[in-house]
């Protein structure tokens, strides 16, 4: 998962999480590291939802990936064909979507 979001080199970096909304409590002990958040606090091994893809579309590395993610988020049958039927988890789906134009992406 760290590789799919280009954080492998920062896995041991200590980070301090802060809520943007004062009424929200972050359920993760802080300070922590990227690796700890990924390993212990994110639901990364389960199935990917179309809603999840739509929630991360703003982080697309380029316009082509952005459009692809939006299309998959809106098209239930295409999403099933490209993501669900291949049993992709979050990391696998992100890697698959970003690798479509890998030569134009920055390397991690």
Q: What is the pLDDT of residue 104?
A: 44
Q: How many CB atoms lie within 10 A of CB 87?
A: 9
Q: 6 is written with which tokens?
A: 């280009």
Q: What is the pLDDT of residue 20?
A: 84
CA angle 61, 65, 69 (to 5 degrees): 120
Q: 27 is written with which tokens?
A: 């359920």
In this structure, what is the dihedral angle of CA atoms 64, 68, 71, 72, given to the nearest 10 degrees?
-170
Instruction: Name the pTM for this structure.
Output: 0.60
Q: What is the pLDDT of residue 105?
A: 45
Q: 50 is written with which tokens?
A: 């179309």
Q: What is the pLDDT of residue 8?
A: 85
Residues of the chain scoring pLDDT < 70 = 4, 41-45, 100-108
CATH numbers and ranges of domains, the chain:
3-41 (no CATH), 50-104 (1.20.990.10)
Q: What is the pLDDT of residue 102?
A: 52
């Amino acid at each position: 998962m760290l590789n799919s979001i280009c954080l492998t080199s920062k896995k041991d970096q200590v980070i301090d999480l802060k809520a943007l909304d004062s009424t929200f409590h972050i359920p993760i002990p802080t300070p922590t590291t990227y690796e700890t958040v990924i390993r212990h606090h994110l639901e990364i091994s389960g199935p990917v939802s179309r809603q999840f893809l739509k929630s991360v579309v703003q982080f697309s590395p380029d316009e082509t990936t952005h459009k692809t993610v939006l299309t998959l988020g809106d098209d239930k049958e295409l999403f099933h064909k490209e993501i669900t039927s291949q049993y992709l988890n979050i990391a696998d789906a992100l890697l698959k979507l970003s690798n479509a134009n890998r030569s134009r992406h920055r390397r991690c």
